[in-house]
Amino acid sequence: MSKSGAITAPPETEKKEKTDTKGSPDHGYLVICWNDPVNLMEYVTHVFQTVFGWPKAKARQHMMQVHQAGKSLLARETFEKAEHYVHQLQSYHLHATMERDE
């Protein structure tokens, strides 16, 4: 992601989200946002807030995880919902994909 920012810890929310849906066959797809050097950090935070309705602090935590770890798991969903989110994120031109939860 372009432009540097303050370093924060990886999102604690991700572990909870994983636990909430773990083992559910209906939620076998992961929505992942990957790092790229061109999308502005504040823009990525703004898109996460807009698409997922997250508060700014949570959106920023996920943005920082993308920036520092190279990717962030944003949601574990059904195929249809994961596809919807990926379409939404890509309409903002973030580098997002859906992957099978192996």
Partner 1 sequence: MKFIRPKKSARQGDSFVFRMTLGEKELLLTTLKMYPMLDSKYHRLSRDPKATTKAEQEWLVEAMEQQQQEHKKRLGQLLADNQRFFRDDSGTLALTLTSEQMEWMLRVLNEIRVGSWARLGCPDPDAIRPAKMGAGQARFAASMELSGYFQSILLEAFS
Binding region for partner 1 (CB under 8 A) = 2, 29, 37-40, 42-43, 46, 50, 83, 86-87, 90-93, 97-100
Alpha-helical segments (H) within the chain: 13-21, 41-52, 56-69, 79-91
Show Cβ contacts of residue 13 under 8 Å, excluding neighbours closer than 6 positions.
58, 61, 62
Find tokens 């989200």 and name the residue: 17
Q: What torsion do the CA atoms of 66, 98, 58, 52 make, to the nearest 10 degrees?
A: 140
We find the least distance from the C-beta atom of residue 74 to partner 1, in angstroms, to be 14
User: Quick one: 21 or 84, whose CB is closer to partner 1?
Assistant: 84
We find the least distance from the C-beta atom of residue 37 to partner 1, in angstroms, to be 5
User: Quick one: 18 or 93, whose CB is closer to partner 1?
Assistant: 93
We find the least distance from the C-beta atom of residue 64 to partner 1, in angstroms, to be 16
